[in-house]
Amino acid sequence: MSLNAKDKGLITGIWSKISSKAPELGAEALGRMLTVYPQTKTYFSHWADTSPGSAPVKKHGAVIMAAIGDAVTKMDDLVGGLSSLSELHAFKLRVDPANFKILAHNIHVTIAMYFPADFTAEVHLALDKFLQNLALALAERYR
């Protein structure tokens, strides 16, 4: 489901709106995912604390959100732009791609909480398509 011009406009629009809070949103989304979908904690057995608001969650949430922000600038060629991240996820992290969808849902919930007026159904649609395409690009090198 590729992005049309309207989707791209909505995505850059919402991202510029939320970018100043991106680290906080990332931490919130990641913390929620680990709480609401406990099976995702299996990837973080090396963290002392996987609870929302903990230091590793805050740090890693910010990392993830910054990478997504970077992907927004590479929207026209996600596969090319994310190839090294894809290699990382394929060969080192080996995160089951089903989890990308789970994180995406929690990103939607978090943005809806923080920016209810801006997260309209059309923005939700565009962002969902973008995150799905991002997930596909991230899984590109898996097999």
Nearer to another protein, 48 or 121 (CB): 121
C-beta separation of 85 from 141 below 8 A? no
Give Cα separations from 66 to 1, 22, 122 (angstroms).
24, 7, 23
**Closer CB to another protein, 86 or 110, in the complex:** 110
**What's the first-to-final CA gap in the chain, in angstroms?**
21
DSSP state of 93: I
As measured in angstroms, the least distance from the Cβ of 8 to another protein is 17
CB nearer to another protein: give 27 or 82. Answer: 27
Task: Report the nearest approach of another protein to the CB of residue 2 (Å).
Answer: 15
SS3 at position 17: helix
Q: Which residues bind another protein (CB under 8 A)?
A: 31-32, 35-36, 52, 105, 108-110, 112-114, 116, 119-122, 124-125, 128
